[in-house]
Amino acid sequence: MMNADGSGLRYLEFDLPEQATWQPGAFFPVGNRHLVLSMERSRDGPGKPFEDYCHTTPTHIWGHNLDTGSLEEIATKERLAPFCTPQLLLHNGRMLIQVVRNSVPQTFSINMDGSDPKPFTQPGEGMPCGLNLSPDRKRVAYHLAVSSGYEIRTCDVDGSNKTLVAKQIGHLYFGPRWSPDGEWLIFQDCHSRKDPGHDWSDIVLSRPDGSARRLLTEGQSLWFAATYGSPGNRGGGSDGPMWSEDGSLLFNRRLPDSKTPWEFQEVDVDMDHFNREFKPELARGGTEICRMDPKTGSIKRLTRSNPPVWDFRNMESPDAKYILFCRAETGRTSGIWIMDANGGHQRLLTKGINNLGADHPGWIP
């Protein structure tokens, strides 16, 4: 945690037994209190296929107060399975959690203490991911893995009244986000059969009912599966476009013919959910942060570097004055940067402990 000018950097350390990893989550509507997920050490992995051991790992959900430092475990009543992870705060005293039982994922709505679990999805329906709450807090948008690829759906907060927004064979539709006025969705379109590593994608704009759908970019021009770093210190995770409060879009755009140093390897068994080989000799180009007007399609470049670097994970501040983003040189770890909303005054905030890297920045509301 740090101030927006880079001062006051400190690391939050939760010294609790058996907890191997910690991940910050969404903020509650009132106060500087947010969700934290911890995972115990994997019982059976690595050494086994990823999907065999990941969901056997016990998890814990906590409420953490940034002002007081207090940490309280929540969602402990009527525990549904050892593996439970938070998916979305619903702002009505409930949240959605993902549960995996007998290798079958399912999403439930629960009270914050874990009581009164109600199915949001049914067993065998698939695992909704990338959940995003509408501005009026009445609908949820998400993507769902199906046999033909990934599809986009919306539904009420209790899981009813499901609407199919986008589905097409060979297309991985991913990460829907509501516009500030709730009138539109944006999501990504990756041509997954041609690009099994999900490196690249385009932006799709659609009404929440699936009408008026159109591509805002072409040529698979976004860096979707952001993978960076060196063989001894690698990182990654899906990246995507974000709405600004003024209705414009922030996204990373790849330079022509760019290729990352981490080449996807098609394997029969997924051992680590990474499946990439470091080939720096093949790397070229990079990405830049851009702002787009979805009404006109006009694009303004906000970052540029020579030689090119990989800019990604743009996130606008609550007051719309600043943009956080990550930057990684080819084959190097990423750092967290900040710039003015117009792209000016770009500066590095941190590269993490001992410059080992930092990723997934977020603003405290």
Q: Is a pLDDT exceeding 80 seen at residue 46?
A: no
Q: Which residues sit opposite 40 in a β-bridge?
A: 19
Q: Confidence class of residue 71 from pLDDT cuts 50, 70 and 90?
A: very high
Domain ranges of the chain: 226-365
Q: Confidence class of residue 69 from pLDDT cuts 50, 70 and 90?
A: very high
pLDDT digit string, tens, across residues 145-191: 887 779 999 999 999 999 999 999 999 999 999 999 999 999 999 99
Q: Please name the amino acid found at residue 343.
A: G
Q: Confidence class of residue 197 from pLDDT cuts 50, 70 and 90?
A: very high
The DSSP secondary structure of 271-282, one letter per residue, reads: SSS--EEE-GGG
pLDDT digit string, tens, across residues 9-39: 999 989 898 999 999 999 998 879 999 999 9
Q: Is a pLDDT exceeding 90 seen at residue 47?
A: no
Q: Report d(CA 57, CA 272) in Å as an integer.
A: 14
Return the pLDDT at 15: 85
Burial profile 114-141: b = 16 or more Cβ within 10 angstroms, e = fewer: beebeebbeeebbbbbbbbbbeeeebbb
Report the pLDDT averaged over residues 218-236. Answer: 95
pLDDT digit string, tens, across residues 50-59: 676 677 889 9
pLDDT digit string, tens, across residues 252-267: 999 999 999 999 998 8
Report the pLDDT averaged over residues 277-304. Answer: 97
pLDDT digit string, tens, across residues 306-324: 999 999 999 999 999 999 9
Return the pLDDT at 145: 86
Q: What is the mean pLDDT of the chain?
A: 94
Q: Is a pLDDT exceeding 80 seen at residue 272?
A: no
Burial profile 244-257: b = 16 or more Cβ within 10 angstroms, e = fewer: beeebbbbbbbeee
Residues 6+ apart with CB under 8 A from 32: 65, 66, 67, 364
Cα 56 versus chain centre, distance: 22
Return the pLDDT at 29: 87
* Closest residue by Cα to residue 289 from 262, 307, 316, 321: 316
Cα 251 versus chain centre, distance: 13
Q: Is the whole-model pTM more than 0.85?
A: yes
